[in-house]
Amino acid sequence: MGKKIIIIGGGVAGLTAGIYGQRSGFDTEIIEMHTVPGGQCTAWNRRGYRFDYCLHWLVGTAKGPFHEIWRDTNVLNDQVEILDHDVHTRILAEDGSDFIIYTNIGRWERYLMEMAPEDAKAIRKMCGDMRRGIKLEPFLNPPGLRKPGEYLKALVKMFPALKVIAQNGRKTCREYFAERKFKNRKLAFYLDSIFGDEEFSALAFLMMLAWFNQRNAGYIIGGSLPLAKRMADCYLSLGGKFSLGNKVETIVVEGGKARGVTLADGTVLKADYVISAADGRSTLYSMLGGRFLPPPVKKAYDSWKLFTPLVQVSFGISKSVPEKFPVMAILAKGKTIGSTTLKNNFVLMNYSFDPTMAPEGKTVIIIRFESPWEVWQNLEGVAYKEEKDRIRKDAERMLEQQYPGIGDFIEVADVATPKTTVRYTGVWNGSYEGFIPAAKNFGKTLDMTLPGLDNFFMAGQWIYPGGGLPPSAQSGKWAIQLICKKEKQ
Ligand SMILES: Cc1cc2nc3c(=O)[nH]c(=O)nc-3n(C[C@H](O)[C@H](O)[C@H](O)COP(=O)(O)OP(=O)(O)OC[C@H]3O[C@@H](n4cnc5c(N)ncnc54)[C@H](O)[C@@H]3O)c2cc1C
């Protein structure tokens, strides 16, 4: 058939669109401004260590519509090893006490009951809501291509969860926990500390634990970079074409149709269709000059809250540092790292569970914390370098508190800031998963098409509050399905 599709952005959404596009007989080209594909699903190598920036859990490692996509795109194959952690997070308070979130709901329920027998009824209710959340499944096909049977099937599956949705659909986590009226102070304190953001949706929390409970949100050994590479290899093997190190400046529109793109060096590339899997805001406001903005989309970009960007300090440790807990959230409200005052916590991830991250006998440990974009946006030159240096020293001190004596074994310390994220991926204000899944927008999606602009599709994390790899990939697949429909294919 050979119709040409230009895909802007070689992140997971763009790669998925490319793979399904090639499979459907189109002639696709991915234009990616960075020199490697993967977007935010990435990692970097430093002196034998690999510092991962993304993957900690991937919904769809076991079953369901996302699983099919991971199989189709070579993210999962028979050689790929999946690890299902028993513990989601260990939260540590300043007084030395801790709180564990288990990935198995039954186990977590028993743990909570032991801690707070006086709250048995409220705990049972919360865990019951999670179990019912298990019934929620993503749709296989995009809106417009779903058969009535698909809606009916979804409704039947979702039936046990409908009450949970009706009761909590527009509640924040904080409201949900407050309603349970936990009497045990430790339990109430820790639950309240799980999400730093006061707008975070209760349903998003309940569903997250439901995915884990099914052992359908595993970690993939090797992490983000090999994952992206497997997708890129799959795309190339199907005849796809990468144009790396090229930034798209504008989307060419003629007669109400997307007709191609103009690159930063002025080159014009023509196409029959354009899919933008790049940052949503720069697509709409810069590449399209704000000319195609339906009110719901404008409202979302004007008022929906963004994820606060992250600073990541990655350490290469020249000895083995075993650790039972893959993720630890250390409560440190009001403490500072560099110029950032922590709102809630910092997170420490010890990658000893993945032997591919460090040479034998060595360990990668990562510290991450939220740092508002305002801290970074005007920081340049010497001031930027000095801030990174302060952060490194503070993070080393924090690491030493967790693992006394470790300072002597730090072989590499690498600081990646929100500016690093923006430089390499163009993501708006460093918001690594786009819009927060808040009580007011949970379950809402933004249209993949724009009124007045034909032959153009949006894909990627900005379509769905909460972002993440699975919905981003799915939107790439859906964009191709919608093009197939237009082509009566
Ligand atoms: C620290 C961190 C941890 C995360 N953990 C998880 C996790 O455990 N599980 C999970 O599911 N998700 C996780 N995510 C979220 C996930 O990484 C993202 O939601 C997902 O990768 C977004 O994919 P995307 O393709 O939509 O966008 P992106 O990855 O942002 O890709 C967009 C691509 O477009 C390119 N681009 C931008 N502008 C242009 C232009 N003008 N011209 C050409 N190219 C352009 C960029 O360079 C980039 O490669 C995490 C993210 C981060 C940062």
- pLDDT of 36 > 90? The answer is yes
Q: Which residue among 381, 400, 425 closes a domain? A: 425
User: Average pLDDT for residues 47-74, to the nearest whole number?
Assistant: 96
SS3 48: coil
User: Average pLDDT for residues 279-301, to the nearest whole number?
Assistant: 97
Banded pLDDT at 204 (limits 50, 70, 90): confident
On whether both 314 and 394 belong to a single domain, the answer is yes
Measured between alpha carbons, how far is 68 from 71 in angstroms, rounded to an integer?
5
On whether both 149 and 130 belong to a single domain, the answer is yes
Cβ of 461 below 6 Å from ligand 1: yes
Q: Mean pLDDT over all residues of the chain?
A: 94
Residue with the smallest CA separation from ligand 1 atom 50 is 54
pLDDT for 144: 87
User: Average pLDDT for residues 41-59, to the nearest whole number?
Assistant: 97
- pLDDT of 77 > 90? The answer is yes
Instruction: For residue 69, report the distance from its CA to the centre of ligand 1, in Å.
Output: 17
User: Average pLDDT for residues 286-308, to the nearest whole number?
Assistant: 96
Which ligand 1 atom is nearest residue 15's CA?
A: 25
Cβ of 232 below 6 Å from ligand 1: no
Instruction: Identify whether 91 is part of a domain.
Output: no
On whether both 417 and 315 belong to a single domain, the answer is yes
Instruction: Identify whether 296 is part of a domain.
Output: yes
Cβ of 362 below 6 Å from ligand 1: no
Q: Are 346 and 332 in contact (CB under 8 A)?
A: yes
- pLDDT of 53 > 90? The answer is yes
Banded pLDDT at 134 (limits 50, 70, 90): low
On whether both 383 and 476 belong to a single domain, the answer is no
pLDDT for 1: 58
On whether both 62 and 108 belong to a single domain, the answer is no
What is the CATH classification number for the domain harbouring 255? 3.50.50.60
Question: Euclidean distance between the first and final Cα of the chain, in Å?
Answer: 10
On whether both 379 and 419 belong to a single domain, the answer is yes
Instruction: For residue 468, report the distance from its CA to the centre of ligand 1, in Å.
Output: 8
Which ligand 1 atom is nearest residue 34's CA?
A: 47
Contacts of 341 (CB under 8 A, 6+ apart): 334, 335
SS (H, E, C) 353-420: HCCCCCCCCCEEEEEEEECCHHHHCCCCHHHHHHHHHHHHHHHHHHHHHHCCCHHHHEEEEEEECHHH
Which of the listed residues 227, 469, 475, 477 should we mutate to test ligand 1's pocket, taking the one with most ligand atoms within 8 A of CB? 469
Instruction: For residue 98, report the distance from its CA to the centre of ligand 1, in Å.
Output: 32
On whether both 288 and 317 belong to a single domain, the answer is no
**Exposed, middle or buried by CB within 10 Å (0-12, 13-18, 19+), for 294?**
middle
Q: Which residue among 160, 178, 213 closes a domain? A: 213
Instruction: Identify whether 90 is part of a domain.
Output: no
- pLDDT of 282 > 80? The answer is yes
Q: Are 200 and 438 in contact (CB under 8 A)?
A: yes
Residue with the smallest CA separation from ligand 1 atom 13 is 468
Q: Which helix (H) or strand (E) holds 31?
A: strand 27-32
- pLDDT of 273 > 80? The answer is yes
Instruction: Identify whether 92 is part of a domain.
Output: no
Q: How many helices (H) and strands (E) does the chain have?
A: 15, 22
- Give the pLDDT confidence of 447-464 residue by residue, as tens digits: 999 999 999 999 999 999
Q: Are 129 and 204 in contact (CB under 8 A)?
A: no
On whether both 276 and 314 belong to a single domain, the answer is no
Lowest mean pLDDT among 40-54, 176-190, 225-239: 176-190
Instruction: Identify whether 161 is part of a domain.
Output: yes
On whether both 298 and 316 belong to a single domain, the answer is no
Q: pTM to 2 decimals?
A: 0.96
- Give the pLDDT confidence of 175-190 residue by residue, as tens digits: 999 999 999 999 999 9
Cβ of 10 below 6 Å from ligand 1: yes
Instruction: Identify whether 98 is part of a domain.
Output: no
Instruction: Provide the token pair at 116.
Output: 């707070």
On whether both 136 and 64 belong to a single domain, the answer is no
On whether both 337 and 406 belong to a single domain, the answer is yes
Instruction: Identify whether 259 is part of a domain.
Output: yes
Which ligand 1 atom is nearest residue 40's CA?
A: 29
- pLDDT of 195 > 80? The answer is no
Instruction: Identify whether 121 is part of a domain.
Output: yes
pLDDT for 135: 67
Cβ of 430 below 6 Å from ligand 1: no
- pLDDT of 341 > 90? The answer is yes
Lowest mean pLDDT among 82-91, 206-215, 246-255: 206-215
pLDDT for 420: 96
Which ligand 1 atom is nearest residue 249's CA?
A: 41
pLDDT for 425: 96
User: Average pLDDT for residues 189-203, to the nearest whole number?
Assistant: 84
pLDDT for 133: 73
- Give the pLDDT confidence of 85-94 residue by residue, as tens digits: 999 999 999 8
Alpha helices in 169-312 (DSSP H): 173-180, 185-193, 202-213, 224-237, 280-281, 295-303
On whether both 9 and 115 belong to a single domain, the answer is no
Full domain range(s) for residue 245: 4-80+223-304+435-486
- Give the pLDDT confidence of 102-132 residue by residue, as tens digits: 999 999 999 999 999 999 999 999 999 988 8
Count of the separate structural domains present in the chain: 3
Q: Which residue has the tokens 């903005």?
A: 293
Cβ of 41 below 6 Å from ligand 1: yes
Which ligand 1 atom is nearest residue 37's CA?
A: 49
List phi, psi (to 5°) of 252: -80, 125
Q: Which residue among 175, 194, 213 closes a domain? A: 213
Which ligand 1 atom is nearest residue 424's CA?
A: 47
User: Average pLDDT for residues 230-241, to the nearest whole number?
Assistant: 98
pLDDT for 327: 96
